[in-house]
A and B are shown apart, each in its own frame.
Chain A
Amino acid sequence: MVSILRRSPKLLSSICRRQFSASSDGNLTSHGGKSMNLYSAINQALHIALETDPRSYVFGEDVGFGGVFRCTTGLVDRYGKDRVFNTPLCEQGIVGFGIGLAAMGNRAIAEIQFADYIYPAFDQIVNEAAKFRYRSGNQFNCGGLTIRAPYGAVGHGGHYHSQSPEAFFCHVPGIKVVIPRSPYQAKGLLLSCIRDQNPVVFFEPKLLYRLAVEEVPEDDFMLPLSEAEVIREGSDITLVGWGAQLSVMEQACIDAEKDGISCELIDLRTLMPWDKETVEASVKKTGRLLISHEAPVTGGFGAEISASIVERCFLRLEAPVSRVCGLDTPFPLVFEPFYMPTKNKILDAIKATVKY
């Protein structure tokens, strides 16, 4: 199954050619620690979560065997099959079970094999998890629940192994939505999500599981939720994205720079509740905003960012907010390159916005 990460060479070249950057200045900074890929970073975070809290559990389809993407490798050997276990194939049941487990004061870390298969659990997430605290007047909650799911395009995943469903969950007050862009981010953010007192949906960019490699400290560390990060400073236009799309956007920034356009790139990291202040401050400086995500443009989370920023920065904007996103079609099989918000589409949009 992991072989789906062997993306077609043409599409991947832009990502493979360079080091993956995680630092605020766009260069590979050393966080110290071992160089590792994204799935190993996730694996390490899960090890730490289980190690540091005896009331934490990891479960999902085939997780006892390491999972489709190897993220849960070795957990069952270390922590036993009472704390790390396979579930039957039943997403609605998995999440419902997780809510109950969390309601008893445990950390329930559920894996949904692909984000495309989270829909059978949608009701549990939206109607049960998100509203438990509110409707019980704070008597109950499932804050210990974290749902991990790999999302996004890999080059040839087709209709049901490629989708980016984050916007659906951003429409649900009561749950948090977090998406990391790199191994270091993945480890720190996942540990924060697991320990956060609210239910969280954590989407992992499966394209990067093996591709993205950077130094990640071995120790237990957390990165703040609801804090965006400026990963590249610039003065002409602000670009906002998350997850795997950031590496594509970064390439566009580098190309734009050759044409004398200075781009500021922001990783939103937490989509719900999101860090409006950081984006607002940046747009007030640059006067222009571009948002890019793989999910279809209509009703995507880019629309929300756009509306909020127009409200806050109306008089400072020099051009309409630009969205370079997936098209309004089902995720296609043979047409993936047409569908995707590629580097050149972003570059075109940067130029058009700056010239507006």
Chain B
Amino acid sequence: MALSHAASRSNLLKPLVSGFSYSSSLRRSISSAADNSSSLTIETSVPFTAHKCDEPSRSVETNPKELLGFFRDMALMRRMEIAADSLYKAKLIRGFCHLYDGQEAVAVGMEAAITKKDAIITAYRDHCTFLGRGGTLLEIFAELMGRQAGCSRGKGGSMHFYKKDACFYGGHGIVGAQVPLGCGVAFAQKYSKDETVTFALYGDGAANQGQLFEALNISALWDLPVILVCENNHYGMGTAEWRAAKSPAYYKRGDYVPGLKVDGMDALAVKQACKFAKEHALKNGPIILEMDTYRYHGHSMSDPGSTYRTRDEISGVRQERDPIERIRKLIISYDLATEKELKDIEKEVRKEVDEAIAQAKENPLPDPSELFTNVYVKGFGTESFGADRKELRAVLP
């Protein structure tokens, strides 16, 4: 059978910084840098690889404010995920919990290229995407702990974050299912002619689901303004990409749909690609962006993440490609802030996270009657009593 494979061809390690263009070496203090929007041009360290389209330029326009913003946002995401890990171990978070640390550049780079009128839909690894859309830490931790102040009123948990006012369509548990949904959202966007697009995110494992191919076909057939973003972190649970995919070149898997392979550990490259993809999608219909990224944590909280990959591989990626370190180095090398100032930012976000957790812990659980609401438009109109009381029959509305 065709099931035997050559040994893993791990190609995860690529240089962190190949060559910054040291065109402007300006010495600024953090505050003056922050209001300074003078533009910088930075070269991505890895070229884009294109399928059936031209690739965007490797020179990315940015400015000090944006870079410091990237640093802060990613540091916050990282801290938040580490805190979620501890809360899970303390049994304050129950259910399934999938962390995003390592992949932060995808969330911040994408946001930098689009507006909150553009839609995002993703799978269960959704905490940071939600934060990127403008969600608050309290909403996040409260939802993780199943409290009233959570973004889904405590009824969804880790895998089900949503934010309607920022066009974040969530938070989906069934692998691959969110992608055709994204096509439907994009169809509605096209109809309303407001020049918005949908980013539908999925993993390298999800890329093998039949629904993906259905979504590709209909989005191309109907010229939908949808960007299929494959967050390739190289594993679907314990399965390395090459064990599950005949062709792990996910950006090419749309065949007739153009695609772009992007260094997903480089927020600037992600930004450039998303900007390019949005323009493309509005003009020509769907495009695939394969984000080459990495998750540091195991798949979910019960996976130590070390049985199917080596510790060397993980620490190698941390050292060579970490998205936060990349931006830190850029900021330092352009003299936009000092090491100490960046450390202070990290302390600040730590405090923010701790405060949000304290607040979330004080927040009450949803009222038990919520068990029966939102099943249909009208609630069931029943009350529930404690687990040890005889059940009440729910009456259909």
A interface residues, Cβ below 8 angstroms from B? 1-4, 8, 61-62, 65, 68, 81-82, 85-90, 92-93, 116-117, 119-120, 155-161, 297, 324, 327-330, 332-335, 337-342, 344-345, 348-349, 352
CA distance A222 to B317 in the complex (A): 51
Question: In the complex, what residues of B have CB within 8 A of residue A327's CB?
Answer: 371-372, 384, 391, 394
List 27 A-B residue pairs with CB atoms under 8 Å apart, sorted by A's residue number. Answer: A1-B302, A3-B302, A82-B3, A88-B239, A88-B244, A89-B175, A89-B176, A117-B174, A120-B211, A157-B96, A159-B160, A159-B173, A160-B96, A328-B380, A328-B394, A329-B371, A330-B375, A332-B155, A332-B371, A333-B154, A334-B146, A334-B154, A334-B366, A335-B368, A335-B384, A338-B386, A338-B387
Question: In the complex, what residues of B have CB within 8 A of residue A332's CB?
Answer: 155, 371
Most chain B CB within 10 A, of A61, A81, A89, is at: A89
Closest-by-CB residue of A relative to B366 is: A334
Task: Kindly provide the distance from the CB of A96 to the nearest chain B CB, expressed in whole angstroms.
Answer: 10
Task: Kindly provide the distance from the CB of A324 to the nearest chain B CB, expressed in whole angstroms.
Answer: 7
Question: Does B365 sit at the interface, judged by CB under 8 A?
Answer: yes
**How many residues of B are counted as interface, with CB atoms below 8 angstroms from the partner's CB atoms?**
56
Question: Does B10 sit at the interface, judged by CB under 8 A?
Answer: no
Question: In the complex, what residues of A have CB within 8 A of residue B365's CB?
Answer: 334
Given A90-B210, A329-B375: A344 and B174 interface contact (C-beta under 8 Å): no
Given A90-B209, A339-B371, A342-B387: A156 and B94 interface contact (C-beta under 8 Å): yes
Known: A68-B237, A332-B371. 13 other contacts (CB 8 A): A1-B300, A1-B302, A61-B237, A62-B237, A89-B208, A117-B175, A157-B96, A158-B157, A160-B159, A332-B155, A333-B95, A340-B387, A349-B390
Closest-by-CB residue of A relative to B210 is: A92
Is the Cβ of A62 less than 8 Å from the Cβ of B238?
yes
Closest-by-CB residue of A relative to B147 is: A334
Question: Does B165 sit at the interface, judged by CB under 8 A?
Answer: no
CA distance A31 to B78 in the complex (A): 53
The A/B interface has a contact count, at CB < 8 Å, of 142
Is the Cβ of B174 less than 8 Å from the Cβ of A120?
yes
Is the Cβ of B174 less than 8 Å from the Cβ of A62?
no
CA distance A131 to B20 in the complex (A): 64
Majority-rule SS of A interface residues: loop
Point out the residue from B175, B210, B307 that lies within 8 Å of A93, measured CB to CB. B210
B interface residues, Cβ below 8 angstroms from A? 1, 3-4, 94-96, 146, 154-157, 159-160, 173-176, 205-206, 208-211, 236-239, 243-245, 299-303, 307-308, 365-366, 368, 370-372, 375, 380, 384-391, 393-394, 396
CA distance A93 to B209 in the complex (A): 8
Question: In the complex, what residues of A have CB within 8 A of residue B175's CB?
Answer: 89, 117
Task: Kindly provide the distance from the CB of A83 to the nearest chain B CB, expressed in whole angstroms.
Answer: 9
CA distance A117 to B205 in the complex (A): 14
CA distance A334 to B384 in the complex (A): 13
Most chain B CB within 10 A, of A157, A324, A334, A352, is at: A334
Task: Kindly provide the distance from the CB of A113 to the nearest chain B CB, expressed in whole angstroms.
Answer: 9
Given A85-B1, A327-B391, A345-B391: A157 and B245 interface contact (C-beta under 8 Å): no
Task: Kindly provide the distance from the CB of A101 to the nearest chain B CB, expressed in whole angstroms.
Answer: 11
CA distance A348 to B387 in the complex (A): 12
Point out the residue from A65, A161, A334, A342 that lies within 8 Å of B96, measured CB to CB. A161
Is the Cβ of B375 less than 8 Å from the Cβ of A333?
no
Given A1-B300, A158-B157: A344 and B388 interface contact (C-beta under 8 Å): yes
Closest-by-CB residue of B relative to A57 is: B1
Closest-by-CB residue of A relative to B372 is: A329
Task: Kindly provide the distance from the CB of A58 to the nearest chain B CB, expressed in whole angstroms.
Answer: 12
Question: In the complex, what residues of B have CB within 8 A of residue A82's CB?
Answer: 1, 3
Is the Cβ of A160 less than 8 Å from the Cβ of B173?
yes
Given A160-B173, A340-B387, A342-B387: A89 and B236 interface contact (C-beta under 8 Å): yes
Closest-by-CB residue of B relative to A1 is: B302
The 4 closest A-B pairs by CB, nearest first: A156-B94, A337-B387, A88-B208, A160-B173
CA distance A92 to B96 in the complex (A): 24
Given A338-B384, A342-B387: A89 and B209 interface contact (C-beta under 8 Å): yes
Is the Cβ of A333 less than 8 Å from the Cβ of B239?
no
Task: Kindly provide the distance from the CB of B283 to the nearest chain A CB, expressed in whole angstroms.
Answer: 32
Question: In the complex, what residues of A have CB within 8 A of residue B244's CB?
Answer: 86-89
Task: Kindly provide the distance from the CB of A133 to the nearest chain B CB, expressed in whole angstroms.
Answer: 25
Given A61-B239, A120-B174, A159-B173: A333 and B156 interface contact (C-beta under 8 Å): yes
Most chain A CB within 10 A, of B95, B371, B390, is at: B95
Task: Kindly provide the distance from the CB of A194 to the nearest chain B CB, expressed in whole angstroms.
Answer: 20
Question: In the complex, what residues of B have CB within 8 A of residue A339's CB?
Answer: 371
Closest-by-CB residue of B relative to A155 is: B94
Task: Kindly provide the distance from the CB of A233 to the nearest chain B CB, expressed in whole angstroms.
Answer: 26
Closest-by-CB residue of B relative to A119 is: B174
Task: Kindly provide the distance from the CB of A200 to the nearest chain B CB, expressed in whole angstroms.
Answer: 24
Task: Kindly provide the distance from the CB of A15 to the nearest chain B CB, expressed in whole angstroms.
Answer: 15
Task: Kindly provide the distance from the CB of A110 to the nearest chain B CB, expressed in whole angstroms.
Answer: 15
Question: In the complex, what residues of A have CB within 8 A of residue B385's CB?
Answer: 338
